[in-house]
Amino acid sequence: MFVGSVGGLRVARQYVDKPKPDHSSVPVIFTAEIVANGETVEERKRLVLHAFDECVVRSAPDSVFALLQTSYLSAEETQAFASLNEIMGHCLPKKEGESVELNRFTLRSGLSYAAMALEGEAAKMGLSVQGKPQ
């Protein structure tokens, strides 16, 4: 998780004072099918959490990138988390039996991982920051 947090900070910092990435052209990474195909309960829980994080990053990139640029346990981090409350509610799993357990560390780390994963997929597709071919 630590690697995801550091990587997410790296990704976030490259967009300071620049347009945030548009991942609308990048196919969903953690689809319902991928989640359903998790072989164990623990794997499905992990995949549900990844799907949640991906939804949040796609839905509110500016707020996520602002969060990733804050210091841990700072007032700015608390404020950044608060700005994501509504979108996180929208992204919570809706399928019976699926849930996510969140705390500051797992949420921040998961959002970092999702931001990096989306950046990686965009790069594989040859997309620029705005989601258009380079």
For the cut 80, the answer to whether the pLDDT of residue 99 exceeds it is: no
Of residues 16 and 72, which shows the higher confidence score?
A: 72
pLDDT for 63: 92
Give a yes or no: residue 85 inside a domain. Answer: yes
Predicted structure pTM score: 0.83
> What mean pLDDT, rounded, does the chain reach?
82
pLDDT for 4: 45
Q: What is the mean pLDDT of residues 3-31?
A: 72
Contacts 24+ apart (CB under 8 A), 100-109: 100/45, 100/48, 100/49, 100/52, 101/49, 104/72, 104/73, 104/77, 105/1, 106/1, 106/49, 107/53, 107/81, 108/5, 108/8, 108/67, 108/68, 108/72, 108/77, 109/1, 109/2, 109/4, 109/5, 109/8
pLDDT for 134: 45
> Total domain count for the chain?
1
Note down the domain range covering 97.
2-124
Give a yes or no: residue 129 inside a domain. Answer: no
